[in-house]
Structure 1
């Protein structure tokens, strides 16, 4: 106990399995436990999909030309401006 949680990456052959896992994890939110420790499951996207989604959003495109940023797992957003 007291250790930082470790991320685990799972690759599934069929997307239906992934969707089933995500659906069941949402249904058991806060109640999913493995060997007495809570487990959190997050939906992730392939880098190509995430890049495409960011580049097709015009508001985001205008934002990234002004500010340098980084989104890291789990959901931490780092922003750098010209001042820093």
Structure 2
């Protein structure tokens, strides 16, 4: 089934609920909800996969914004990146500064 929503905020609410509720079922069958995106946007988002793994390992909170932006939250401040290489530099700088503190 494909649903077309008139308001972007409705899509965001549905996606948020699908993440927080866990598995969804309809008449005994599991239902999966995916946002529709072009192959190009998918490639742009996939370019962040390695840095997202490093962020998870470092315990840094992040989220992906549409179409392909990565938002990082550190010490209640947010930074947004459109380039995975810039995120990599940020991670390396943070590793350097945290190792100097110890």
Normalised by the length of structure 2, the TM-score is: 0.37
The structure showing larger relative contact order (alpha-carbon pairs under 8 Å, at least 6 residues apart) is: 2
More helix by share: 2
Normalised by the length of structure 1, the TM-score is: 0.44
More strand by share: 2
